Amino acid sequence: MTADLTAAAWPGLTPRLLRTETLTDYLRSGGYACLDDPDRLLGEVQASGLLGRGGAAFPLAVKLRAVRDNGREAGGAVAIANGEEGEPTSIKDRWLLRNRPHAVLDGLRLAATVIGAQHAYLYVSDRQAAEHAQAALGELGGELGSLPIEFVLVAPGYVAGEETAAVHVINGGPAKPTDKPPRPFEQGVGGFPTLVSNVETLAQLAYLNIHGATQFRTAGTDASPGTFLATITGAGRPAALYELPHGIAVADLLTLHGIPLQQVTGALMGGYFAGLLNRDILGATLDHETIRELGSGLGCGAITVLTDDCPVAVAASVLTYFDRENAGQCGSCFNGTAAMAAVMAALRDGMAGEDDVARLQRWSVVLRGRGACATLDGAANVAAGLLTQFPDLVHSHLENACPACRSGAFTAVRPYEVERLDEVVGV
């Protein structure tokens, strides 16, 4: 199973997720142990401070408790393991499903037990990931105890992994987000309260169940406990997947990855969603609280390092991608992403004026929170990040005086996409 792939844990860190193992190995480690007391596990999740790893960093204990309580009132609940990795610069979910499917399935079993789910789904777009997970389920006799589980394979897409899109597909619709409320924890698959949890979050839950909250907190910070999986792209280096404790210095990570710090001009954070940061990122640590203070976020843990590429040109490529990949069903998003992409492309090409920049600034504020999903928020983050983090560069583009773009602006259909898993390197 993808034996040619390598991925690296932070030096001195015993890997929690980034390792390969057989079913026998996993059972010996304590995996798939009978969960006699779901309330005890929920208490451990609360004590651990485990945050979701899909992008929003929402506390898992809060989500589990909400679905459990709503499910008791509704007479049932559903659990979904979300492995539809929509961010093109992220690779972690596919790697886990191909290499640690038992940890994901065990986490799904545990979450379903806590919320009292009668049915579970694995929602994924990577065919090899689905095949490996199905093979792992076959090793268990085709079932997760008494929990029925169904595999749902969808076409990949940026919006396909949004939680209401996953519910929409399972309910028989297209892979497009739906209006909220209701949110899935209130009313989801078949009208029942539904837990939609990222596969890394579920693998972390399986680790937590085996080792406990105290051990879980031996890595990370108080507010961002544990480890997380980070996909590093850009800077002319092959993509790499790392398991990192929250709180490590960005400069130390980039040095480990072989990127000269003097060449770094900034970073694209959280895949495409969390926007751009300038060289101040080099003084930061990788935890939610620190990156949030800089005006960005860790998101799904995907970080693209910028060196030679002009941030204006990068922003233009990302906004063009958002314009193309939005669901096309909300006017504010359909028109808003198109408008921002057009202005950013004009800025890249030295054809924008001060009025255009002013409009871009206004849109980056007033368009937030509109539409059925967060695609428009991602576009606004990119625009706002460029304008606030790189004002001198924006001015040089107004004067058509950017040397990097004059020599050939960066353009990409899916900027910094990790296309193949066998490109992942270790250290």
Strand-pair category, 266-269 with 149-153: unpaired
The pLDDT assigned to 424 comes to 56
Tens digit of each residue's pLDDT (9 = 90 or more) over 327-369: 888 888 889 999 999 999 999 999 999 999 999 999 999 999 8
Read off the tokens for 202: 């579920």
More reliable by pLDDT, 374 or 379? 379
Stretch 175-196: mean pLDDT: 95
How many Cβ atoms from other residues are within 10 Å of residue 11's Cβ? 9
Q: 3-state class of 144 per DSSP? A: strand
Tokens representing residue 109 in the block: 């079993």
d(CA 105, CA 96) in angstroms, rounded, equals: 11
Residue ranges of the alpha helices (H) in 4-144? 23-28, 38-48, 60-74, 92-99, 101-115, 127-139
Structure confidence at residue 373 (pLDDT): 85
* Burial environment of residue 118 by CB neighbours within 10 A (0 to 12, 13 to 18, 19 or more): middle
- Reply yes or no on whether the pLDDT at 3 is more than 50: no
Report the pLDDT value the prediction gives residue 335, as an integer from 0 to 100. 92
The ranges assigned to domains in the chain are 8-216, 311-409
Strand segments, DSSP code E, in 162-319 are 194-198, 227-234, 240-245, 266-269, 276-277, 302-306
The predicted model gives 305-318 an average pLDDT of 97
Contact 113, 231 (CB under 8 A): no
Listed in sequence order, the residues at least 6 apart from 290 whose beta carbon sits closer than 8 Å to its beta carbon are 284
What pLDDT does residue 386 have? 98
Report whether 87 contacts 271 (CB < 8 A). Answer: yes
Which tokens go with 14?
């015993």
Q: Which CATH number fits domain 311-409: 3.40.50.1110, 2.40.37.10, 3.30.2310.20, 1.20.1440.230?
A: 1.20.1440.230
Which pLDDT does position 285 carry in this prediction? 98
pLDDT of amino acid 422 = 61
Q: For the chain, what is the mean pLDDT?
A: 94
Angle formed by the axes of helices 92-99 and 127-139, nearest 10°: 30
Fold match flag (8-216 vs 311-409): no
pLDDT confidence bin for 420, thresholds 50/70/90:
low
Fold of the 8-216 domain: Rossmann fold (3.40.50)
pLDDT at 198: 98
pLDDT at 43 over 80: yes
Q: Return the amino acid letter for 235.
A: A
Could you tell me if 281 and 265 are in contact, meaning their C-beta atoms sit under 8 angstroms apart? no
Predicted local distance difference test score (pLDDT) of residue 372: 80
Nearest to 273 by CA among 360, 377, 363, 201: 377
* Percent of the chain whose pLDDT exceeds 90: 89
Contact 51, 266 (CB under 8 A): no
The token pair that represents 4 in the structure block = 């040619």
pLDDT reading at 1 higher than 60: no
Tokens of 12: 């001195």
> With 50 as the cut, is the pLDDT of residue 2 above it?
no
pLDDT tens figures, 119-154: 999 999 999 999 999 999 999 998 888 899 999 999
Q: Is the pLDDT of residue 423 over 90?
A: no
**Per-residue CA distances from 82 to 129, 404, 406 (Å):** 12, 39, 42
Residue 384 · residue 376 · CB < 8 Å: no
Q: Which residues pair with 267 in a beta bridge?
A: 277, 305
User: Around Cβ 70, how many Cβ atoms within 10 Å?
Assistant: 19
